[in-house]
Structure 1
Amino acid sequence: MIRSMRPRRLFAVLFLAVLAWGLPAVSRSGPLADALVAVDVGHGHKRPGATSARGVPEYRFNLDMARLVVEELHRAGLPKAFLLDPTGADIPPAGRARRANRDKAAVLVSIHHDSVQPQYLEDWIVEGRRGRYCDRFAGYSLFFSAKNPKAGPSLDLAKAIGERLRDAGFTPTAHHAEPIRGENREMVDPQRGVYRYDGLAVLGRAAMPAVLVECGVIVNRDEETALTDPDRRVRQARAIAQGVAVFLERAMKKTARSTASPRTLSFEPTKM
């Protein structure tokens, strides 16, 4: 039993457990542990967002994933990570940013699940009901806004998350870069799946580094099924949390080098 172990052995076991999880070994008593990470559940009960191929509202996917991301952030040494709208109150996007600003969050991550433009959707019958699907596109995507006052660090945050998602075996989608109406987003990092999208108020109105994550394409029938797999969801939530932790660790190290207050994180953009 753990309580019968000697202190050195106990420390070694705990350290190996952290490595086994694949999470950064972040001190829960250091400056990083005080960082508030706001996790936004995209949409709400009344305006649930997109509809999956099997008729499930996007909000249900978002809520499940956002809860897992908060849990994994806690495991990654960020115990003050919290859900921005745990009750699904249908707060407008700009209002979500204002709430994160009010709470003085260090980082904002908005969790969503993706769809496609209407011209790509096809009809099918599933469980006796008409549904709409598109199996042409699959994968995650990450968005940052150049209107965010911390645009450079927001891009760094998106790259850090994308790096971890890629390392965990996830593949980005490129369909938001298509030169068609409703898309045509600038893809600034194809390998990590990072786009620039200045029209997202939840990102542009936030005072801190902010990223929107589209976890997968729920109108793709195979990907919708995969996105409900518990093991995959945990693996993806863990990768997102790791990306946030890595980004904040880098900011903390910059703060230490600049001899600033140990509880004030530096968000100058870095080369990656």
Structure 2
Amino acid sequence: MGARAKSPLFLAALVLACLLSPISAEAKCRPAALSIAVDAGHGPKISGATSATGQPEYAFNLRLAKQVVAALKAAGFSRAFLLDPKGADLPPAARAARANAAGAGLLLSIHHDSAQPQFFETWTVDGKTRRYCDRYHGYSVFYSGRNPRAAASLDLAKRIGGRMTAAGFPFTRHHAADIPGERRPLVDDKAGVYRYDGLAVLARARMPAVLLEAGVIVNREEEKELAGGKRQEKTAQAIAQAVTNWCAAP
């Protein structure tokens, strides 16, 4: 027997059901397909800030960057890689260029923070005079409005800041201070996200790009935490969770 013709009422109900049925939004990216460049800021010769005990910032950056790559791979981002594994002391624009040439879909630049010179005091460490600043502590996240994917960069920056806060880390407000060398617009007062258009590593990247200052190494107490494996692991996990959520969002 042939199929009976559907009534107009049935067909109308079918069309309405299709219109009202939820449509799953497509995720921003697939973890296994996303190439993520993780930049350990500075290098062994041009090493960035100096910690309260005299340690180079690059050593902190490299340790954490390696942890971030491992955490991302564990989260399914198998194409995460260290941007400058040999420590070539690349300038910021060259780091962006390397990420561009590698076809990265995301750039994460890992740094550790300092303060303006007028806020430093001195103390003695192993017989040497060192500078420190206990006034500030905490992380901060930066994006550049000059990045061609600025909106996506800001979204990721907010997610990283949110996960850092959820992990129990405070953010520092000193980059918004009305003094020379600072005056960065604080665009998210809960997640600790700043806009800094002059950061070449972010502005010159063709993909979404975020820079994290993981903490203030010139603060004597925070330096101890940042040098420890627990803080590094929690920070790396926060970043991996943020990237996972960012990637899954439409």
Q: Same fold (TM over 0.5)?
A: yes
Deviation at 1:193, TM superposition (A): 0.6
For 2:130, the aligned partner's letter is G
Deviation at 1:202, TM superposition (A): 0.1
Higher RCO structure, 1 or 2 (CA under 8 Å, sep 6+): 2
Aligned residue for 1:160? 159
Give the number of aligned pairs.
Answer: 222
For 2:67, the aligned partner's letter is L
Deviation at 1:127, TM superposition (A): 1.3
Aligned residue for 1:83? 82
Aligned residue for 1:71? 70
Deviation at 1:32, TM superposition (A): 2.2
Aligned residue for 2:209? 210
Alignment of 1:252-267 (within 5 A): 254=250
Alignment of 1:39-188 (within 5 A): 39-188=38-187
Alpha-carbon distance in 2 for matches of 1:47, 1:151? 28
Aligned residue for 1:5? none
Give the structure with higher Rg (CA).
2
Deviation at 1:31, TM superposition (A): 3.1
Retained in 1: the 8 A contact 2:112–2:215? yes
Supply the RMSD in Å over aligned alpha carbons: 0.9
Alpha-carbon distance in 2 for matches of 1:167, 1:69? 17
Alpha-carbon distance in 2 for matches of 1:36, 1:246? 16
Alpha-carbon distance in 2 for matches of 1:55, 1:73? 30
**Segments of 4+ in structure 1 off by > 6 A?**
none
Deviation at 1:245, TM superposition (A): 1.6
- Which consecutive unaligned segments of at least 5 residues does structure 1 have? 1-29, 255-272
TM-score by length of 2: 0.87
For 1:73, the aligned partner's letter is L
Query: Is 1:248 the counterpart of 2:247 in the alignment?
Result: yes
Aligned residue for 1:227? 226
In structure 1, the residue corresponding to 2:169 is in which secondary structure? coil
Identity among equivalent positions (%) equals 58
Deviations 1:216-257 (A, max 9, x none): 00000000001112112101111011111211121xxx3xxx
- Which consecutive unaligned segments of at least 5 residues does structure 2 have? 1-28
Alpha-carbon distance in 1 for matches of 2:123, 2:102? 45
Aligned residue for 1:34? 33
